[in-house]
Structure 1
Amino acid sequence: MEGEYVGCQGRPPSPNLATAKPRTPQARGANSFDVPGLNKPLTVQDLEESRNIYNVLPTDSQQPEILQSHINNLAALFVRNRADGILGIHLAHAHFAVPANTAILGANYDKPYCYNVLPTDSQQPEILQSHINNLAALFVRNRADGILGIHLAHAHFAVPANTAILGANYDKPYCRWAKTTAIQTIDLSNVHGHIFVLTDHGFHPYEYQTGPSPDLSEVNSTFLPELADYLNTNNLSTLVGLQIIGQSPAHVFELILPLATVMLDVLDLNGCVPARQTGWKFEVENGEPRVCKSNETHGRNANGHDIFNEVE
Protein backbone atom coordinates (compact mmCIF):
# COMPACT_ATOMS: atom_id res chain seq x y z
CA MET A 1 0.00 0.00 0.00
CA GLU A 2 1.34 3.41 -0.95
CA GLY A 3 2.78 5.34 1.95
CA GLU A 4 2.88 2.29 4.25
CA TYR A 5 6.24 1.34 5.78
CA VAL A 6 6.96 -2.31 6.43
CA GLY A 7 10.07 -2.94 8.52
CA CYS A 8 11.85 -6.11 9.62
CA GLN A 9 9.38 -8.87 10.56
CA GLY A 10 6.52 -6.54 9.68
CA ARG A 11 7.15 -4.23 12.65
CA PRO A 12 6.89 -0.45 12.08
CA PRO A 13 9.87 1.59 13.26
CA SER A 14 9.59 2.87 16.81
CA PRO A 15 11.56 5.49 18.72
CA ASN A 16 14.53 4.29 20.72
CA LEU A 17 13.65 3.86 24.39
CA ALA A 18 16.41 6.24 25.41
CA THR A 19 15.05 9.04 23.20
CA ALA A 20 11.31 8.32 23.32
CA LYS A 21 9.01 11.28 24.00
CA PRO A 22 5.45 11.37 25.30
CA ARG A 23 2.87 10.89 22.57
CA THR A 24 0.14 13.09 23.97
CA PRO A 25 -0.04 16.41 25.80
CA GLN A 26 -1.73 14.56 28.66
CA ALA A 27 1.52 12.75 29.48
CA ARG A 28 3.53 14.09 32.40
CA GLY A 29 6.20 15.74 30.29
CA ALA A 30 9.57 14.66 28.94
CA ASN A 31 10.54 12.99 32.21
CA SER A 32 7.81 10.35 31.77
CA PHE A 33 10.25 8.15 29.88
CA ASP A 34 13.32 8.92 31.95
CA VAL A 35 13.63 5.86 34.16
CA PRO A 36 16.49 5.91 36.71
CA GLY A 37 18.77 2.92 36.28
CA LEU A 38 17.21 2.02 32.91
CA ASN A 39 17.80 4.89 30.50
CA LYS A 40 18.83 7.57 32.97
CA PRO A 41 21.96 7.65 35.20
CA LEU A 42 21.33 6.91 38.86
CA THR A 43 21.72 9.45 41.62
CA VAL A 44 21.96 9.08 45.39
CA GLN A 45 18.43 10.45 45.60
CA ASP A 46 17.23 7.65 43.30
CA LEU A 47 18.72 5.04 45.62
CA GLU A 48 17.11 6.65 48.65
CA GLU A 49 13.74 6.73 46.87
CA SER A 50 14.07 3.03 45.99
CA ARG A 51 14.19 2.24 49.71
CA ASN A 52 11.00 4.24 50.29
CA ILE A 53 9.25 2.42 47.43
CA TYR A 54 10.36 -1.03 48.58
CA ASN A 55 9.32 -0.47 52.17
CA VAL A 56 5.67 0.19 51.29
CA LEU A 57 5.30 -2.80 48.96
CA PRO A 58 3.22 -5.75 50.21
CA THR A 59 4.72 -9.22 50.48
CA ASP A 60 4.13 -11.68 47.65
CA SER A 61 1.57 -13.56 49.77
CA GLN A 62 -0.41 -10.33 50.21
CA GLN A 63 -0.56 -9.62 46.50
CA PRO A 64 -3.52 -10.92 44.45
CA GLU A 65 -3.01 -13.07 41.37
CA ILE A 66 -2.29 -11.25 38.12
CA LEU A 67 -5.12 -12.12 35.73
CA GLN A 68 -4.02 -14.16 32.75
CA SER A 69 -5.86 -11.71 30.48
CA HIS A 70 -3.60 -8.92 31.75
CA ILE A 71 -0.51 -11.06 31.23
CA ASN A 72 -1.61 -11.78 27.65
CA ASN A 73 -2.31 -8.10 26.96
CA LEU A 74 1.07 -7.12 28.39
CA ALA A 75 2.77 -9.76 26.25
CA ALA A 76 1.26 -8.15 23.17
CA LEU A 77 2.28 -4.69 24.40
CA PHE A 78 5.90 -5.77 24.99
CA VAL A 79 6.16 -7.49 21.60
CA ARG A 80 4.50 -4.59 19.80
CA ASN A 81 7.12 -2.24 21.26
CA ARG A 82 10.03 -4.65 20.73
CA ALA A 83 10.73 -4.87 24.46
CA ASP A 84 10.43 -8.67 24.57
CA GLY A 85 13.66 -10.52 25.26
CA ILE A 86 15.00 -7.53 27.20
CA LEU A 87 12.26 -6.54 29.61
CA GLY A 88 9.53 -8.48 31.37
CA ILE A 89 7.05 -8.04 34.20
CA HIS A 90 7.47 -8.84 37.88
CA LEU A 91 5.11 -9.30 40.79
CA ALA A 92 5.81 -6.14 42.80
CA HIS A 93 6.53 -7.24 46.37
CA ALA A 94 8.93 -6.92 49.30
CA HIS A 95 10.37 -9.37 51.81
CA PHE A 96 11.71 -7.16 54.61
CA ALA A 97 12.22 -3.55 55.67
CA VAL A 98 15.26 -1.99 54.02
CA PRO A 99 17.33 -0.09 56.64
CA ALA A 100 18.01 3.63 56.30
CA ASN A 101 20.89 4.66 54.02
CA THR A 102 20.90 1.31 52.21
CA ALA A 103 19.63 -0.03 48.90
CA ILE A 104 19.17 -3.57 47.58
CA LEU A 105 22.00 -4.48 45.21
CA GLY A 106 22.21 -7.75 43.32
CA ALA A 107 25.14 -9.53 41.67
CA ASN A 108 25.41 -12.68 39.58
CA TYR A 109 27.98 -15.39 40.21
CA ASP A 110 28.96 -18.41 38.15
CA LYS A 111 30.58 -20.46 40.90
CA PRO A 112 29.51 -21.40 44.42
CA TYR A 113 30.28 -18.79 47.04
CA CYS A 114 29.08 -20.49 50.19
CA TYR A 115 28.36 -23.84 51.78
CA ASN A 116 24.60 -23.72 51.18
CA VAL A 117 24.91 -23.87 47.38
CA LEU A 118 27.28 -26.84 47.29
CA PRO A 119 25.86 -30.23 46.27
CA THR A 120 26.01 -33.23 48.58
CA ASP A 121 28.81 -35.74 48.10
CA SER A 122 26.39 -38.23 46.52
CA GLN A 123 25.46 -35.61 43.90
CA GLN A 124 29.09 -34.97 42.94
CA PRO A 125 30.70 -37.03 40.16
CA GLU A 126 33.95 -38.89 40.70
CA ILE A 127 37.17 -36.91 40.39
CA LEU A 128 39.09 -38.56 37.56
CA GLN A 129 42.34 -40.19 38.62
CA SER A 130 44.12 -38.32 35.82
CA HIS A 131 43.13 -35.01 37.43
CA ILE A 132 44.24 -36.23 40.86
CA ASN A 133 47.63 -37.20 39.40
CA ASN A 134 47.98 -33.85 37.63
CA LEU A 135 47.08 -32.01 40.82
CA ALA A 136 49.62 -34.06 42.77
CA ALA A 137 52.31 -32.87 40.35
CA LEU A 138 51.06 -29.28 40.61
CA PHE A 139 51.14 -29.34 44.44
CA VAL A 140 54.61 -30.92 44.57
CA ARG A 141 55.99 -28.57 41.91
CA ASN A 142 54.86 -25.60 44.00
CA ARG A 143 55.98 -27.12 47.32
CA ALA A 144 52.41 -27.14 48.66
CA ASP A 145 52.41 -30.88 49.43
CA GLY A 146 52.40 -31.76 53.11
CA ILE A 147 50.51 -28.57 53.95
CA LEU A 148 47.65 -28.42 51.47
CA GLY A 149 45.58 -31.06 49.73
CA ILE A 150 42.38 -31.38 47.74
CA HIS A 151 38.88 -32.05 49.00
CA LEU A 152 35.65 -33.17 47.36
CA ALA A 153 33.62 -29.94 47.55
CA HIS A 154 30.28 -30.82 49.11
CA ALA A 155 27.76 -29.94 51.81
CA HIS A 156 25.65 -31.97 54.24
CA PHE A 157 23.01 -29.55 55.53
CA ALA A 158 21.81 -25.96 55.30
CA VAL A 159 23.90 -23.66 57.48
CA PRO A 160 21.59 -21.31 59.46
CA ALA A 161 21.85 -17.55 59.09
CA ASN A 162 24.54 -15.77 61.13
CA THR A 163 26.52 -18.98 61.64
CA ALA A 164 29.60 -20.58 60.06
CA ILE A 165 31.06 -24.08 60.23
CA LEU A 166 33.94 -24.08 62.71
CA GLY A 167 36.11 -27.10 63.46
CA ALA A 168 38.34 -27.98 66.39
CA ASN A 169 40.74 -30.89 66.99
CA TYR A 170 40.84 -33.08 70.09
CA ASP A 171 43.40 -35.68 71.18
CA LYS A 172 41.68 -38.29 73.37
CA PRO A 173 40.55 -39.88 71.19
CA TYR A 174 41.84 -38.03 68.14
CA CYS A 175 38.94 -36.37 66.33
CA ARG A 176 37.84 -33.17 64.63
CA TRP A 177 34.47 -31.69 65.47
CA ALA A 178 33.02 -29.23 62.96
CA LYS A 179 29.72 -27.60 63.82
CA THR A 180 27.66 -24.55 62.98
CA THR A 181 28.76 -21.76 65.30
CA ALA A 182 27.32 -18.30 65.86
CA ILE A 183 29.57 -15.87 63.97
CA GLN A 184 29.52 -13.31 66.77
CA THR A 185 31.04 -15.87 69.17
CA ILE A 186 34.01 -16.78 66.93
CA ASP A 187 37.41 -15.43 67.97
CA LEU A 188 38.69 -14.23 64.60
CA SER A 189 42.22 -13.88 65.98
CA ASN A 190 42.38 -17.65 66.47
CA VAL A 191 40.61 -18.95 63.35
CA HIS A 192 41.71 -19.73 59.81
CA GLY A 193 40.11 -21.17 56.70
CA HIS A 194 40.08 -24.97 56.48
CA ILE A 195 38.36 -25.89 53.19
CA PHE A 196 38.20 -23.46 50.28
CA VAL A 197 36.27 -23.39 47.01
CA LEU A 198 37.13 -21.35 43.92
CA THR A 199 34.62 -18.54 43.35
CA ASP A 200 34.44 -15.59 40.98
CA HIS A 201 36.44 -13.69 43.60
CA GLY A 202 39.17 -16.29 44.05
CA PHE A 203 39.42 -19.00 46.69
CA HIS A 204 37.05 -18.55 49.63
CA PRO A 205 36.72 -20.72 52.76
CA TYR A 206 33.45 -22.48 53.52
CA GLU A 207 34.72 -24.33 56.59
CA TYR A 208 36.95 -22.84 59.28
CA GLN A 209 39.31 -24.22 61.91
CA THR A 210 40.39 -22.96 65.32
CA GLY A 211 44.09 -22.32 65.81
CA PRO A 212 46.82 -20.38 63.98
CA SER A 213 47.16 -20.42 60.20
CA PRO A 214 49.77 -22.81 58.75
CA ASP A 215 53.13 -21.50 57.59
CA LEU A 216 52.90 -21.06 53.81
CA SER A 217 56.21 -19.23 53.39
CA GLU A 218 57.79 -22.15 51.49
CA VAL A 219 54.88 -22.47 49.03
CA ASN A 220 55.54 -20.87 45.64
CA SER A 221 53.69 -17.62 45.01
CA THR A 222 52.49 -19.05 41.68
CA PHE A 223 50.67 -21.94 43.37
CA LEU A 224 47.19 -20.45 43.81
CA PRO A 225 47.02 -18.83 40.34
CA GLU A 226 48.22 -22.08 38.76
CA LEU A 227 45.72 -24.14 40.75
CA ALA A 228 42.87 -21.76 39.89
CA ASP A 229 43.80 -21.91 36.20
CA TYR A 230 43.81 -25.73 36.24
CA LEU A 231 40.43 -25.93 37.99
CA ASN A 232 38.85 -23.38 35.65
CA THR A 233 40.33 -24.90 32.50
CA ASN A 234 39.05 -28.37 33.42
CA ASN A 235 35.67 -27.25 34.84
CA LEU A 236 36.58 -28.53 38.30
CA SER A 237 35.91 -25.41 40.37
CA THR A 238 32.65 -26.79 41.77
CA LEU A 239 34.06 -30.29 42.32
CA VAL A 240 37.56 -29.89 43.78
CA GLY A 241 38.21 -27.80 46.87
CA LEU A 242 41.48 -26.78 48.51
CA GLN A 243 42.09 -28.02 52.05
CA ILE A 244 44.61 -27.44 54.81
CA ILE A 245 45.47 -31.00 55.74
CA GLY A 246 45.76 -32.26 59.28
CA GLN A 247 49.14 -33.44 60.49
CA SER A 248 47.80 -36.57 62.16
CA PRO A 249 48.70 -39.79 60.30
CA ALA A 250 45.33 -41.28 61.25
CA HIS A 251 42.92 -42.49 58.58
CA VAL A 252 39.62 -40.90 59.57
CA PHE A 253 35.96 -41.41 58.78
CA GLU A 254 33.72 -38.34 58.58
CA LEU A 255 30.39 -38.97 60.30
CA ILE A 256 27.42 -36.68 59.67
CA LEU A 257 25.49 -35.32 62.64
CA PRO A 258 22.63 -32.80 62.74
CA LEU A 259 24.28 -29.45 61.81
CA ALA A 260 27.73 -30.91 62.52
CA THR A 261 30.27 -33.49 61.43
CA VAL A 262 32.91 -35.40 63.36
CA MET A 263 36.05 -37.07 62.03
CA LEU A 264 37.29 -40.06 64.01
CA ASP A 265 40.15 -42.51 63.62
CA VAL A 266 38.78 -45.66 62.00
CA LEU A 267 40.49 -47.67 64.76
CA ASP A 268 38.15 -46.04 67.30
CA LEU A 269 34.96 -46.91 65.42
CA ASN A 270 32.66 -49.92 65.43
CA GLY A 271 29.74 -50.63 63.12
CA CYS A 272 30.88 -48.08 60.54
CA VAL A 273 31.73 -48.78 56.91
CA PRO A 274 33.46 -46.54 54.32
CA ALA A 275 31.22 -44.71 51.86
CA ARG A 276 33.28 -42.31 49.71
CA GLN A 277 36.73 -40.77 49.75
CA THR A 278 36.59 -37.01 50.29
CA GLY A 279 40.19 -35.93 50.90
CA TRP A 280 43.55 -36.46 49.18
CA LYS A 281 47.05 -35.40 50.15
CA PHE A 282 50.28 -35.61 48.22
CA GLU A 283 53.95 -36.23 48.90
CA VAL A 284 57.26 -36.75 47.11
CA GLU A 285 58.62 -40.28 46.75
CA ASN A 286 61.94 -40.88 44.98
CA GLY A 287 61.71 -37.40 43.52
CA GLU A 288 58.26 -37.99 42.03
CA PRO A 289 54.83 -36.76 43.14
CA ARG A 290 52.76 -39.42 44.86
CA VAL A 291 49.08 -39.56 45.78
CA CYS A 292 48.78 -40.82 49.35
CA LYS A 293 46.27 -43.37 50.45
CA SER A 294 42.85 -42.07 51.36
CA ASN A 295 43.10 -40.08 54.58
CA GLU A 296 39.50 -38.81 54.70
CA THR A 297 36.48 -40.95 53.88
CA HIS A 298 32.81 -40.62 54.58
CA GLY A 299 31.63 -43.17 57.08
CA ARG A 300 28.23 -44.77 57.08
CA ASN A 301 26.30 -46.83 59.59
CA ALA A 302 26.38 -50.50 58.75
CA ASN A 303 22.58 -50.21 58.46
CA GLY A 304 23.06 -47.87 55.50
CA HIS A 305 22.15 -44.58 57.20
CA ASP A 306 24.39 -41.58 56.56
CA ILE A 307 23.29 -39.49 59.56
CA PHE A 308 24.30 -40.68 63.00
CA ASN A 309 22.39 -40.22 66.28
CA GLU A 310 19.22 -39.98 64.21
CA VAL A 311 16.12 -41.17 66.04
CA GLU A 312 14.34 -43.89 64.08
Structure 2
Amino acid sequence: MATADVSTMAIAGLHRPPTSHDFAMSLAVLPHPEEQPEISDGTLNALGELFVRHSAHNIFGIHLLHSHFAAPEGTVLFGVQFQVSGASQACWTKPVPAAELATESIHGHVFRLQSDGTFVPYEFHEGEASSEAAHTGPAFFRELAEFLHCSNLAGLIALQLLDGPRDKTNMELLAGPQSTVMMDEKDLIGFSPPRITTGWSFTVGDDGIICCKGNDVYSAKKNTQQVFQDSKPLPTVEALKEALRAEGVIA
Protein backbone atom coordinates (compact mmCIF):
# COMPACT_ATOMS: atom_id res chain seq x y z
CA MET A 1 0.00 0.00 0.00
CA ALA A 2 1.38 3.40 -0.97
CA THR A 3 1.67 5.81 1.97
CA ALA A 4 3.88 8.62 0.68
CA ASP A 5 0.98 11.04 0.23
CA VAL A 6 -0.92 10.25 3.41
CA SER A 7 0.02 13.42 5.29
CA THR A 8 -0.23 15.61 2.20
CA MET A 9 -3.79 14.53 1.48
CA ALA A 10 -4.95 14.73 5.07
CA ILE A 11 -3.52 18.20 5.62
CA ALA A 12 -4.66 19.48 2.22
CA GLY A 13 -8.20 18.50 3.11
CA LEU A 14 -8.07 20.82 6.10
CA HIS A 15 -7.73 23.97 4.00
CA ARG A 16 -9.16 23.60 0.51
CA PRO A 17 -12.45 23.75 -1.40
CA PRO A 18 -14.15 20.41 -2.17
CA THR A 19 -13.02 18.62 -5.31
CA SER A 20 -14.62 16.13 -7.68
CA HIS A 21 -13.05 13.36 -5.57
CA ASP A 22 -15.05 14.63 -2.60
CA PHE A 23 -18.24 14.32 -4.66
CA ALA A 24 -17.51 10.62 -5.06
CA MET A 25 -16.81 10.30 -1.34
CA SER A 26 -20.13 11.93 -0.44
CA LEU A 27 -21.97 9.74 -2.92
CA ALA A 28 -20.27 6.56 -1.73
CA VAL A 29 -22.64 4.13 -0.05
CA LEU A 30 -21.54 3.80 3.57
CA PRO A 31 -23.14 1.55 6.19
CA HIS A 32 -25.71 2.95 8.60
CA PRO A 33 -24.51 3.10 12.23
CA GLU A 34 -26.65 0.08 13.12
CA GLU A 35 -24.93 -1.96 10.40
CA GLN A 36 -21.38 -1.42 11.65
CA PRO A 37 -19.79 -3.79 14.20
CA GLU A 38 -18.53 -2.47 17.51
CA ILE A 39 -14.95 -1.23 17.72
CA SER A 40 -13.18 -3.49 20.21
CA ASP A 41 -11.50 -2.27 23.39
CA GLY A 42 -8.22 -3.67 22.09
CA THR A 43 -8.46 -1.56 18.95
CA LEU A 44 -9.35 1.56 20.94
CA ASN A 45 -6.39 0.97 23.26
CA ALA A 46 -3.99 0.49 20.36
CA LEU A 47 -5.26 3.63 18.63
CA GLY A 48 -4.98 5.62 21.85
CA GLU A 49 -1.34 4.66 22.19
CA LEU A 50 -0.72 5.55 18.54
CA PHE A 51 -2.37 8.98 18.83
CA VAL A 52 -0.57 9.83 22.08
CA ARG A 53 2.78 8.63 20.76
CA HIS A 54 2.51 11.19 17.95
CA SER A 55 1.00 13.90 20.19
CA ALA A 56 -2.07 13.93 17.94
CA HIS A 57 -4.67 13.11 20.63
CA ASN A 58 -5.49 16.78 21.30
CA ILE A 59 -6.10 17.40 17.58
CA PHE A 60 -7.68 14.27 16.11
CA GLY A 61 -10.01 11.52 17.23
CA ILE A 62 -11.61 8.56 15.48
CA HIS A 63 -15.03 8.29 13.86
CA LEU A 64 -17.28 5.32 13.14
CA LEU A 65 -17.43 5.28 9.35
CA HIS A 66 -21.13 5.58 8.52
CA SER A 67 -23.81 7.56 6.77
CA HIS A 68 -27.55 8.08 7.00
CA PHE A 69 -28.23 9.05 3.38
CA ALA A 70 -26.46 9.53 0.06
CA ALA A 71 -25.64 13.11 -0.93
CA PRO A 72 -26.91 14.21 -4.36
CA GLU A 73 -24.43 14.47 -7.19
CA GLY A 74 -22.42 17.70 -7.17
CA THR A 75 -22.74 18.20 -3.42
CA VAL A 76 -20.59 17.54 -0.37
CA LEU A 77 -21.57 17.16 3.28
CA PHE A 78 -21.08 20.51 5.00
CA GLY A 79 -21.64 21.35 8.67
CA VAL A 80 -22.42 24.79 10.12
CA GLN A 81 -22.47 25.80 13.77
CA PHE A 82 -25.50 27.39 15.39
CA GLN A 83 -26.49 28.39 18.91
CA VAL A 84 -29.10 26.31 20.70
CA SER A 85 -29.40 27.92 24.11
CA GLY A 86 -27.09 30.19 26.04
CA ALA A 87 -23.53 29.45 24.93
CA SER A 88 -24.35 25.92 23.76
CA GLN A 89 -23.42 25.17 20.14
CA ALA A 90 -24.77 22.57 17.72
CA CYS A 91 -23.76 21.52 14.20
CA TRP A 92 -26.17 21.13 11.27
CA THR A 93 -24.75 18.98 8.46
CA LYS A 94 -26.39 18.60 5.05
CA PRO A 95 -25.46 18.26 1.36
CA VAL A 96 -24.42 21.60 -0.15
CA PRO A 97 -23.48 22.25 -3.80
CA ALA A 98 -19.70 22.32 -3.93
CA ALA A 99 -19.80 25.38 -6.19
CA GLU A 100 -21.29 27.38 -3.30
CA LEU A 101 -18.30 26.52 -1.09
CA ALA A 102 -15.53 27.30 -3.58
CA THR A 103 -14.82 30.72 -2.05
CA GLU A 104 -15.86 29.95 1.53
CA SER A 105 -13.57 29.29 4.48
CA ILE A 106 -14.02 25.57 5.17
CA HIS A 107 -11.99 22.60 6.35
CA GLY A 108 -12.16 18.82 6.24
CA HIS A 109 -13.73 17.31 9.36
CA VAL A 110 -13.96 13.54 8.76
CA PHE A 111 -11.41 11.70 6.60
CA ARG A 112 -11.73 8.24 5.07
CA LEU A 113 -8.68 6.10 4.32
CA GLN A 114 -8.36 5.20 0.63
CA SER A 115 -6.80 2.07 -0.85
CA ASP A 116 -3.73 4.07 -1.95
CA GLY A 117 -3.01 5.09 1.65
CA THR A 118 -4.41 8.63 1.49
CA PHE A 119 -6.96 10.17 3.83
CA VAL A 120 -9.68 12.03 1.92
CA PRO A 121 -12.31 14.26 3.55
CA TYR A 122 -15.93 13.30 3.03
CA GLU A 123 -17.42 15.79 5.49
CA PHE A 124 -16.51 19.47 5.82
CA HIS A 125 -17.13 22.13 8.48
CA GLU A 126 -17.20 25.89 8.18
CA GLY A 127 -14.21 28.01 9.23
CA GLU A 128 -10.52 27.23 9.38
CA ALA A 129 -8.90 24.28 11.10
CA SER A 130 -6.41 24.83 13.90
CA SER A 131 -2.78 25.50 13.08
CA GLU A 132 -1.87 22.45 15.19
CA ALA A 133 -3.82 20.21 12.82
CA ALA A 134 -2.06 21.63 9.77
CA HIS A 135 1.34 20.98 11.36
CA THR A 136 0.75 17.38 12.42
CA GLY A 137 3.73 15.34 11.28
CA PRO A 138 3.47 12.88 8.37
CA ALA A 139 4.59 9.96 10.55
CA PHE A 140 1.25 10.02 12.39
CA PHE A 141 -0.84 9.69 9.22
CA ARG A 142 1.48 7.05 7.82
CA GLU A 143 1.36 4.86 10.93
CA LEU A 144 -2.39 5.29 11.30
CA ALA A 145 -2.95 4.30 7.67
CA GLU A 146 -0.76 1.23 8.08
CA PHE A 147 -2.55 0.21 11.28
CA LEU A 148 -6.02 0.52 9.74
CA HIS A 149 -4.93 -1.29 6.59
CA CYS A 150 -3.18 -4.16 8.35
CA SER A 151 -6.07 -4.57 10.82
CA ASN A 152 -8.72 -4.50 8.07
CA LEU A 153 -10.35 -1.49 9.73
CA ALA A 154 -10.39 0.99 6.84
CA GLY A 155 -14.09 0.26 6.31
CA LEU A 156 -14.91 0.82 9.98
CA ILE A 157 -12.78 3.68 11.30
CA ALA A 158 -12.28 7.20 9.93
CA LEU A 159 -10.09 10.06 11.17
CA GLN A 160 -11.94 12.99 12.74
CA LEU A 161 -10.73 16.50 13.47
CA LEU A 162 -11.67 17.51 17.01
CA ASP A 163 -13.72 20.70 16.74
CA GLY A 164 -14.88 22.16 20.03
CA PRO A 165 -14.69 21.02 23.66
CA ARG A 166 -14.49 17.36 24.64
CA ASP A 167 -16.07 17.61 28.09
CA LYS A 168 -19.55 16.84 26.77
CA THR A 169 -21.42 14.15 24.87
CA ASN A 170 -22.79 15.16 21.47
CA MET A 171 -25.84 13.38 20.14
CA GLU A 172 -26.48 12.99 16.41
CA LEU A 173 -30.03 13.03 15.04
CA LEU A 174 -31.51 12.76 11.59
CA ALA A 175 -33.28 16.03 10.82
CA GLY A 176 -35.40 16.05 7.69
CA PRO A 177 -34.82 13.86 4.64
CA GLN A 178 -31.12 14.71 4.13
CA SER A 179 -29.48 16.34 7.12
CA THR A 180 -28.22 15.60 10.61
CA VAL A 181 -27.90 17.66 13.77
CA MET A 182 -25.21 17.14 16.39
CA MET A 183 -25.79 18.81 19.74
CA ASP A 184 -25.02 18.55 23.45
CA GLU A 185 -27.22 15.84 24.96
CA LYS A 186 -28.04 18.27 27.80
CA ASP A 187 -29.98 20.40 25.30
CA LEU A 188 -32.17 17.48 24.18
CA ILE A 189 -35.38 16.09 25.67
CA GLY A 190 -37.33 12.90 25.12
CA PHE A 191 -34.40 10.64 24.26
CA SER A 192 -33.54 7.24 25.66
CA PRO A 193 -31.08 4.37 25.03
CA PRO A 194 -29.93 2.47 23.11
CA ARG A 195 -27.17 4.66 21.75
CA ILE A 196 -24.45 3.94 19.24
CA THR A 197 -21.09 5.61 19.83
CA THR A 198 -19.83 7.23 16.63
CA GLY A 199 -16.87 9.36 17.78
CA TRP A 200 -14.03 8.88 20.29
CA SER A 201 -11.18 11.00 21.63
CA PHE A 202 -8.14 10.13 23.73
CA THR A 203 -6.71 11.81 26.82
CA VAL A 204 -3.72 11.19 29.09
CA GLY A 205 -4.24 11.38 32.84
CA ASP A 206 -1.79 12.73 35.40
CA ASP A 207 -0.80 9.11 36.06
CA GLY A 208 0.11 8.66 32.39
CA ILE A 209 -2.80 6.33 31.69
CA ILE A 210 -4.46 6.82 28.31
CA CYS A 211 -8.25 7.05 28.44
CA CYS A 212 -10.76 6.78 25.61
CA LYS A 213 -14.02 8.75 25.69
CA GLY A 214 -17.03 8.33 23.46
CA ASN A 215 -17.81 11.96 22.63
CA ASP A 216 -20.34 11.43 19.84
CA VAL A 217 -23.36 9.14 19.89
CA TYR A 218 -26.29 8.40 17.61
CA SER A 219 -29.64 7.83 19.25
CA ALA A 220 -33.25 7.26 18.29
CA LYS A 221 -35.96 9.57 19.59
CA LYS A 222 -38.86 7.88 21.34
CA ASN A 223 -37.93 4.52 19.81
CA THR A 224 -37.90 5.79 16.22
CA GLN A 225 -34.95 6.18 13.87
CA GLN A 226 -35.49 9.73 12.68
CA VAL A 227 -36.74 13.19 13.54
CA PHE A 228 -39.36 14.55 11.11
CA GLN A 229 -37.76 12.34 8.46
CA ASP A 230 -40.58 12.79 5.95
CA SER A 231 -40.57 16.59 5.99
CA LYS A 232 -39.25 18.81 3.22
CA PRO A 233 -35.63 20.05 3.42
CA LEU A 234 -35.33 22.84 5.97
CA PRO A 235 -34.09 26.09 4.39
CA THR A 236 -32.54 27.93 7.36
CA VAL A 237 -31.14 27.40 10.85
CA GLU A 238 -34.17 29.18 12.32
CA ALA A 239 -36.51 26.84 10.44
CA LEU A 240 -34.51 23.90 11.80
CA LYS A 241 -34.78 25.17 15.39
CA GLU A 242 -38.51 25.74 14.99
CA ALA A 243 -38.94 22.19 13.71
CA LEU A 244 -36.89 20.77 16.59
CA ARG A 245 -39.06 22.64 19.08
CA ALA A 246 -42.26 21.50 17.33
CA GLU A 247 -41.10 17.89 17.55
CA GLY A 248 -40.29 18.24 21.25
CA VAL A 249 -36.56 17.68 20.65
CA ILE A 250 -35.44 20.93 22.29
CA ALA A 251 -37.23 23.24 24.72
TM-score of the two chains, using structure 1 as the length reference: 0.60
Change in 2 beyond 3 A, CA 1:217/1:205: closer
AA at the equivalent of 2:128:
P
- Higher CA-based Rg: 1
Equivalent positions of 1:55-204 (< 5 A) are 113-173=25-85, 174-201=89-116, 202-204=118-120
- Residues 119 and 235 (structure 1 numbering): CA distance in 2 closer, same or farther, change over 3 Å? same
Q: What is the rounded CA distance, in whole Å, between the counterparts of 2:188 and 2:49 in structure 1?
A: 34
Query: In structure 2, what is the equivalent of residue 208 of structure 1?
Result: 124
Determine whether 1:300 maps to 2:216.
no
Which residue number corresponds to residue 145 of structure 2? 228
Distance 1:196 1:223 in 2: 14
Q: Secondary structure at the match of 1:276?
A: strand
Tell me if structure 1 keeps the 8 A contact 2:26–2:70: no
Q: Secondary structure at the match of 2:147?
A: helix
Change (3 A) 1:153 1:115: farther
Q: Deviations over 1:31-75 (max 9, x none)?
A: xxxxxxxxxxxxxxxxxxxxxxxxxxxxxxxxxxxxxxxxxxxxx
How far apart, CA to CA, are the structure 2 residues paired with 1:188 and 1:199? Answer: 26
> For 1:255, which of 173, 180, 188 is the aligned residue?
173
- CA deviation after TM superposition for structure 1 residue 170, in Å: 2.1
Letter in 2 for 1:192: H
Can you list the C-alpha shifts for 1:205-262, whole angstroms capped at 9, x where unaligned?
1110110022226633310000000000000001000001122233111001221100
Structure 1: gaps (5+ residues): 1-111
Q: How many residues align?
A: 199
Residue 199 of structure 2 aligns to a residue whose secondary structure is strand
CA RMSD of aligned residues (A): 1.9
Match of 1:309 in 2: 228
**Greater relative CO, 1 or 2 (CA 8 Å, sep 6+):** 2
| Structure 1 residues 230 and 155: alpha-carbon distance in aligned structure 2, compared to 1, 3 A threshold | same
Identity %: 33
Match of 2:209 in 1: 288
